[in-house]
A and B are shown apart, each in its own frame.
Chain A
Amino acid sequence: MSRRTKAANGRLAVFNLVSVSLISLGFMQGAAAGPIGTQALLESEIGAARTARLDVLLEREDIARQLAAFGVDPTEIRQRVAAMSDAEIAALERRIDARLVGGDALGVIGAVFLVLLILELVGVTDVFSKI
């Protein structure tokens, strides 16, 4: 199979996934016909690389489905995704599981506790603060 066919199939698979999804929110609609964005001119003026707009729209669909899987109220999802910039969407697409934040209880035991305690005492961490 040629690389091009593979890429086309891959794209088709993504597209099918998006189109059968219950949370296809229409980010793809009207994708073709907008004005050229300010970011594109900025990048052209300063000679930076450009990102393709179509991919970002596909990614928005994907992020929307992930937010739904993480328990976000369905009536909020579209607005939450729409409020993100292309760069934020691209960053999330790469690592939605990382950088998640909360005051998780510390299940710290034994040696790990000792190491963390020492790091805390020498001012490297602040892990035992109550948050």
Chain B
Amino acid sequence: MAIDAGAPRELTETPFFPQERYQCGPAALLTVLTQSGVRTDMETLVQQVYLPARRGSLQAELTAATRRAGRIPWRLAPGGEALVAELDAGRPVLVLQNLGVGWWPRWHYAVVVGVGGDRVILRSGTERRRVIRSRTFLATWRRAGFWGFVALRPDEMPAVPDRDRWFRTLSELEEAGQYALAAEAWERALAVWPGSAVALFGLANSQYGLGDWAAAEASYRRLLAARPGLAAALNNRALALMRLGRLDEAESEAERALAAAAGEPDFEHAVRETLAQIRAAREGSQSRSGRPSSTSR
């Protein structure tokens, strides 16, 4: 495998932050975040990704800290093609390298800022512009499983599109509690794939996560207009209705969800919990007011 770059290209304006001992992780992360327009500093990122007792940083923490900075960590497909495409889009690529060998590993994070001829240009360690042979770079990168990512703003998309993997990346924002970032990115995804049920569901879930029950309810309803029997959307709309205090509607929506979830054990389990929760809320509101009520709490 080689890096087929055509004409040389280099993101010369990419900043450089020389690392302290063992802190290649925070230094590389600071490089890509700063280039993406995030204002942060080494001290903050050391707090977020460094493991003192292990003298290093975990890959998962670099991507997690990228989310905390309001950027979407997009893992590159293995090999040179995606790497070059991201550079062409103006984004430096944070890579993990094994500078040693399998039986004598030496893990290192660096940032690829350029390729050209048979050379790769890195911001690496204490070297602002480290130039190595692309064959050597690829060998060190391959030994680290071709692990690398770029930091995307929510209005950006990967240079090499892969819809389902992009959707999975966005749903990870939700799992990590980054709802505002997720909402913005799902809006963008809906503009690209207007009929996508997953993208609309993702938007609705991020609105729910933000506590905007009315917007979430409306988005679930919009999704259900296109996909009437979608159990997950029925379930989540029932929860949004419950949050809005519309308990009668919430219960009947949850009952519809239960019917729709038949044969999907995981969804069915979630719907049963939803239904129990709504019924408990109804009992609570009835015992408080002394009469059946669907008014807000």
Which one, B65, B107, B239, B240, contacts A102 given CB within 8 A?
B107
Instruction: Evaluate contact between A129 and B198: CB separation under 8 angstroms.
Output: no
Q: Report Cα–Cα, A83/B1, bound state, in Å.
A: 35
Contact with B along A73-105 (1 / 0, CB 8 A): 100100110111111110110001001111110
- Cβ-based interface call for B177 (8 A): yes
Instruction: Evaluate contact between B172 and A127: CB separation under 8 angstroms.
Output: no
Instruction: Evaluate contact between B25 and A37: CB separation under 8 angstroms.
Output: no
- Cβ-based interface call for A112 (8 A): yes
Interface residues of B in 162-221 (CB under 8 A from A): 164, 167-168, 170-178, 197-198, 201-202, 205, 208
Selected interface stretch from B4-12, B16-24, B30-38, B152-160: B16-24
Nearest CB in chain A: distance from B134 CB, A: 10
Give the number of residues in A that approach B within 8 Å (Cβ atoms).
53
Instruction: Evaluate contact between B136 and A123: CB separation under 8 angstroms.
Output: yes
Q: Report Cα–Cα, A44/B256, bound state, in Å.
A: 18
Which one, B22, B25, B101, B177, contacts A124 given CB within 8 A?
B101
Contact with B along A34-56 (1 / 0, CB 8 A): 01111111101110001010000
Interface residues of B in 222-257 (CB under 8 A from A): 230, 232-233, 235-236, 239-240
Instruction: Evaluate contact between A125 and B198: CB separation under 8 angstroms.
Output: no
Instruction: Evaluate contact between B58 and A45: CB separation under 8 angstroms.
Output: no
Residues of B with C-beta under 8 A to A123: 133, 135-136, 139
Which one, A38, A72, A112, contacts B202 given CB within 8 A?
A38
With A76-B48, A100-B54, A100-B58 in contact, is A85–B104 under 8 Å at CB? Answer: no
Instruction: Evaluate contact between B107 and A46: CB separation under 8 angstroms.
Output: no
Instruction: Evaluate contact between A86 and B132: CB separation under 8 angstroms.
Output: no
Nearest CB in chain A: distance from B197 CB, A: 7
Give the number of residues in B that approach A within 8 Å (Cβ atoms).
79
- Cβ-based interface call for A1 (8 A): no
Instruction: Evaluate contact between A88 and B126: CB separation under 8 angstroms.
Output: no
Residues of B with C-beta under 8 A to A112: 104
With A80-B64, A101-B56, A106-B106 in contact, is A38–B170 under 8 Å at CB? Answer: yes
Residues of A with C-beta under 8 A to B89: none
Instruction: Evaluate contact between B126 and A127: CB separation under 8 angstroms.
Output: no
Residues of A with C-beta under 8 A to B172: 39, 85-88
Instruction: Evaluate contact between A127 and B125: CB separation under 8 angstroms.
Output: no
Instruction: Evaluate contact between B96 and A101: CB separation under 8 angstroms.
Output: yes
- Cβ-based interface call for B91 (8 A): no
Residues of A with C-beta under 8 A to B140: 125-126
With A85-B175, A125-B99, A125-B140 in contact, is A35–B64 under 8 Å at CB? Answer: no
Interface residues of B in 113-156 (CB under 8 A from A): 124-127, 130, 132-133, 135-137, 139-140
Q: Report Cα–Cα, A40/B205, bound state, in Å.
A: 12
B197 — nearest CB in chain A belongs to which residue? A45
Instruction: Evaluate contact between A35 and B235: CB separation under 8 angstroms.
Output: yes
Closest 4 CB pairs of A and B: A131-B125, A85-B172, A71-B52, A102-B22
